[in-house]
A and B are shown apart, each in its own frame.
Chain A
Amino acid sequence: MQLGPLQLTVRWEVRQKQPPLLSALTLLGALAMGFLWVGLVFFFLGVDPVFALRKIFVGSFGSVYGWKESLTKGIPLFLISSGLCVAYQAKFWNIGAESQLLMGAVCSTWFGLHVGASLSPIVGIPLMFFMGFLGGALWGVIPAILKVRFGVSEVISTLMLNYIAAEFVSYLIVGPWKGTTKYGYPYTDDLPKHLLLGTIPGSRIHYITLFLGIVISIALFILLYRTKFGYEVRVVGESPEAAKYAGIDFFRTSLLIMIISGGVAGMAGVGEVAGIHHHLSYPGNISAGYGFTAVITAWLGRLNPLGSLIAGFFFAGILVGGDAIQISLRLPAATVHIFNGILLFVLLVGNFFLNHRPLLQLHRR
């Protein structure tokens, strides 16, 4: 910028400290910018942005029904994003939570339909969650092995596995697992009644999974910041060289990370099947993009499982509100991806302002 004979230049200097107040302010600023951009997008789509944004918040946090629904949609986000926090702290970019959720759903459905029918709920339900964990964990371990042993980028492998798992679920429900009681619909049969998860009366909140989600978030917080393993995860993520120097086994750490993060995503799949749908159906029905939204909530929570809990609830509200405007404004389901993309971008820019401060300089020309 030129001011007569003087020239104004802006230099960005790295901030030595990030005080909590600044953290909070940049976060709020980023969110505000995010909604501004989302509003702009609405505007260009021919939708009144103020109306749309208001509708989103009224739809989610403006009524008792909205709160209940937000909590329901929050359950898978709590589980998945706290698991992703562990993976991302190690800079293992697991983008495959969507399919880890699906494989959890597949394994628990199989268990519920074939084994669980003869078990009492006290044994059956925990085993069903265990099967879900196992399904997600095994699916999650594949990219870990591919990365550590063969150097395959985990971003690509987890994404490819998303497509494969989605096709696999579609294959199961139209093919071998197609229900006999569903009159041509591509669903499996319903799980036995006694394995279905109870809900809080008057809502769809399957409280067992909610409880698990909160407990697991707290447990993963303790894991990351209080245990030897968590320490190793953070060292691996911050400096792979220092991790090597410190004798941390990269293979073992990566496997464990993906068992945890894939496994909890698998448990979220159990909740969706046994708590909401009661059978396996199209992948897009089982998960409304939770695996991707959880990427944002993990980031928004600064990769802290407890922070991601709050972010998860907030975003669940946006999902519910999003549903509300999708119905009233007839917007497609993909709208939520726009939200996700924009919010990730503004969070990235927010991080820049958190880590740098502008230095204005006047030069003689």
Chain B
Amino acid sequence: MVGLIISTLHRTIMAGTSLLLGTTGEILTERSGILNLGVEGMMNLGAVAGFMVTYRTGNLLWGVFAALLAGGAAAALHGFITVYVKANQTVSGLALSMLGVGLAGVLGKPFIGHQLPVRLEQIEIPLLGQIPVLGELLFHQDPLFYGGIVLAFASWFFLRYTRTGIRIRSVGENPRASESQGIPVEKFRFLCTVGGGAFAGLAGAHVVLSYSTSWTEGIVAGRGWIVVGLTIFSLWNPLRGMIGAFLFGGIFVTQYVLQPLGVPPNLLAMLPYGATLVVLLLDGLRKDQRSLHAPAALGEPYSR
């Protein structure tokens, strides 16, 4: 029984890792004032790039790197269109999601059903891995999980206690004031968007290199949209985002736990999406608090 609980929690953490990476990235982007609804597209591109490159080279490192690049490049498109062309961020994000899902579908088609020769193996952290239960849960995971945790803490620290972090937040709160202090608003926003996209690419890589290792169509399955919801839930704080990500990891795993009990799988598959709605709804009950946390200039194009 204990073993079952531990293995369930272990899978929870695994399922939450891609959400964690994606949410951290979107927080970074949104903190600079750019709303990127293209996470689903960027994760899809990251996934397909990671899968293809790993499949061809057999080298995970190249795969992860390709995913990072793919996510960043896709985000650069959104960044260019919203920051420099000053287009509607909602529509541009949607376009990016469509493009990413489409490209991943087309590029991935020949690989449907194919299995990767390698996967991101779980690594035991020396000493810490020996701690009973906790060691099993937290220190027997794949490298992207460790990376995700480190990046989440680092992002939190970076945004809060570094000069550049403060400036990024300022750009997202009040671009005009930032500009008047000599901050190159457009450059900041563009780079944060690209950086956030690279995180989303990593998130996509985790889905195909660790969570599942064979390609199926629609493998990202709306995780990108859940990330967008989690970003709101996190109140734009990477540490809260971490909690949200693993909560939703748990909801993904619940599907498999409940399936043997005879609940139809299609109904279980609704769980994460329904849970996103519920979480946002509960969040809405304390609206005043959220309005204090949301970057004040989020989603508004800035021009001098």
Contacts and interface: CB of A to CB of B under 8 A. Distances in A.
Interface of A: 41, 45, 93, 95, 146, 149-153, 155-157, 159-161, 163-164, 167-168, 170-171, 174-175, 292, 295, 299, 331-342, 344-345, 348-349, 351-352
Contacts, number: 145
A4 to B, nearest CB: 27
A340 B222 contact: no
Contacts of A349: 81, 85, 87
B232 A344 contact: no
B105 A334 contact: yes
B22 to A, nearest CB: 14
Given A174-B266, A331-B106, A337-B98, A156 B228 contact: yes
Interface string B56-100: 000000000000000000000100010001111011101111111
A153 B267 CA distance: 24
Contacts of B284: 146, 149-152
A156 B225 contact: yes
Contacts of A175: 264, 266
Nearest to A292: B98
B270 A168 contact: yes
A295 B270 CA distance: 24
Contact of A335 (B95, B100, B102): B102
Given A156-B276, A167-B270, A299-B91, A337 B225 contact: no
A151 B94 contact: no
A337 B102 contact: yes
From A155, A338, A345, residue with most partner B Cβ within 10 Å:
A345
Contacts of B102: 334-341
20 contacts: A41-B103, A95-B94, A146-B280, A156-B229, A156-B280, A157-B280, A160-B225, A161-B273, A167-B267, A167-B269, A167-B273, A334-B101, A336-B102, A340-B95, A341-B95, A341-B97, A341-B99, A341-B100, A349-B87, A352-B86
Q: Is the interface of B mostly helix, strand, loop or mixed?
A: helix
Contacts of B118: none
A315 to B, nearest CB: 13
Given A175-B266, A344-B91, A348-B88, A146 B277 contact: yes
B277 A152 contact: yes
Contact of B266 (A41, A170, A348): A170
Nearest to B87: A348
A92 to B, nearest CB: 11
Interface string B36-57: 0100010000000000000000
A171 B277 contact: no
